[in-house]
Structure 1
């Protein structure tokens, strides 16, 4: 059986408020800071409110989406006086938690997000990484109160643009449905349990536990779908009721996809795929009605801490 090992994970960053109106992560981090949580077992913990001005006004961002500001090009750019706040903040976070791709970067970044979509607990990997896949596998085994899905954006360690890319390893915990600017106890608790299972895994890993290999089911991003629009660019249809809230449910040719304002059904044409982030509020400005993914089963090797 294939086996691989990694250095101990001694420094972990837990980030909330990368989007200032996604309140579960904001309040988890605020509570950690209030309780002065700086160490969990053998792990040093850095709790970060990623975008304080956006949190203060309960908006996704103040000038531009912070979670799109961590590409190599943006982090290496020269900041001017006219640079958006989020661009300046990305450079600050890179100095605090990175540098991206550097030896001094924190070992793991966990970025906490909410979605208005019916995603349950979704663990988002910017790229495939055996260590984070093992964390996902562990959470799926331990979480009994909610389904846990794993979404991957890229196969390789490409030039990702999200905050979790600053660490040696990283992933996002995305929990929904929760309206932006609203705090729901059930969603908050789902996120808190997911985070607790993650820190449990870190402790077991650092203590020398061998995590056996096996399979992890992931949803691999394929493409995004926009709403139907007229010649002037105005939306002409909404998500069909039969698709609404059906994240990660197989979408087959002929299935209803949109319902036009005049009452006509727009049906899906193409290979069977899985929709996710269905009718996400924040994606209207990005001209995205939902993402499409294929389901992939990955075989992961056993792993342990490197002696």
Structure 2
């Protein structure tokens, strides 16, 4: 990337929580902001809070019938509905109507989606693709203004895959993934960190709208390239668990020969690849239903162009 990326000021911003109903930092904050949105007020815009999956939130479960954060594919959003389709499919179309439609001029300028993970991901900033200057500048602004958070940038789309998450309804979208936090539990430290992430992001948007220019920079991102499944027995049951030396080591290199799994009869199963990998979302509780032990990412460095608004100032 080179040159300067001019982008229109952002006027429509949403902050979503409860996309997964048992990830409680986002649920708690959005419910608070629905009662009092003062913290979301800025001079040049106001962010709108969204409780994404009310049914799942009420039950304190990840989803009611299917994962809402996998329902924003083109096939689902732009196909005709039926009476017997899952609640989350109907809800995805409703969110797309109100905050999109995706790809249209009427879509919200940015959607922030608040998540928690049981994995030791720390403060993680999730984007769909790394070539989008606005999202990358938001992430870089967070990294430079909150260095003690050590926030990492995770690109979730693999080569050839399609958009499927709630944040993709907007013209731009970022997910905040904070952990470790058990499902159905609020940790005060992560709640405060998430609130700070939202504040700093809204501050960035406000400064951008007022005409501030942001210089080019280099950034490391972690690009998803695949996943590793748990070993299974002949009857389809998990036969080994994440090795204790790998547990909680998200974003650390796993080298060939390093312990990866520990079988139920206490045999070490090493990583047998031919090059080091970065595991993330290690032992994520929500991925057990998919038999995913961890996601594999590669670390790449990007050059991101300078960013400027097409308007020097937006009237308040």
User: What TM-score comes out, normalization by structure 2 length?
Assistant: 0.94
Match of 1:268 in 2: 271
| 2:24 equivalent in structure 1 | 23
Deviation at 1:283, TM superposition (A): 0.3
Between the aligned partners of 1:254 and 1:151, the Cα distance in structure 2 is: 26
Runs ≥4 in structure 1, deviation > 4 angstroms? 155-158
> What is the CA distance between 1:2 and its match in structure 2?
1.5
Structure-2 separation of matches of 1:286 and 1:49: 25
The secondary structure found in structure 2 opposite 1:139 is helix
Residue 7 to residue 156, structure 1, CA distance change in 2 (3 Å): farther
Compute the displacement of 1:36 (Å): 3.5
| Aligned twin of 2:4 | 3
Structure 2, unmatched stretches of 5+, are 312-316
Q: How does 1:109-148 map to 2 (within 5 A)?
A: 109-128=111-130, 129-148=132-151
* Contact 2:158–2:225 (8 Å) recurs in 1: no
SS in 2 for 1:40: coil
Q: Give the conservation status (yes or no) of the 8 Å contact 1:211–1:304.
A: yes
Mapped partners of 2:237, 2:160: distance in 1 = 37
Q: 2: CA distance between counterparts of 1:275 and 1:268? A: 11
Structure 2 vs 1, CA of residues 292 and 22 (structure 1 numbering), >3 Å: closer, same or farther?
same
Deviation at 1:155, TM superposition (A): 7.3
Q: What pairs with 1:166-245 in structure 2 (closer than 5 Å)?
A: 166-245=169-248
Per-residue CA deviation, residues 173-209 of structure 1 (Å, 9 max, x unaligned), is 0000000000000111111111111011111111111
2:299 paired with 1:298: no
Q: For 1:253, which of 252, 256, 278 is the aligned residue? A: 256
Q: Distance in 2 between matches of 1:138 and 1:119?
A: 19
- Cα distance in 1 for partners of 2:161, 2:225 equals 16
Distance 1:156 1:97, change over 3 A: farther
Equivalent-residue separation in structure 1 for 2:161 and 2:111 (angstroms): 17
Per-residue displacement from partner, 1:196-240 (whole Å, max 9, x unpaired)?
Answer: 110111111111111010111100001011100011210001100
Query: Partners of 1:56 and 1:251 in 2: how far apart?
Result: 39
SS of 1:289's partner is strand
SS of alignment partner, residue 104 of structure 1:
coil
2:44 to 42, 45, 52: 42
Q: Which runs of 5+ in 1 are unaligned?
A: none
Shift of 1:280: 0.3
Does 2:289 align with 1:288? no
- 1:32 maps to which residue? 33
Does the residue aligned with 2:98 lie in a helix, a strand or coil? helix
Task: Measure the CA separation in 1 of the matches of 2:37 and 2:110.
Answer: 19
Deviation (angstroms), 1:145: 3.4
C-alpha distance in 1 between matches for 2:135 and 2:71: 22
Shift of 1:157: 10
- Contact in 1 for aligned 2:113/2:167 (Cα 8 Å): yes
- The answer to whether the Cα contact below 8 Å between 1:127 and 1:156 also exists between their aligned partners in 2 is no
Equivalent positions of 1:75-114 (< 5 A) are 75-114=77-116
Q: Partners in 2 of 1:81 and 1:300 — Cα distance?
A: 46
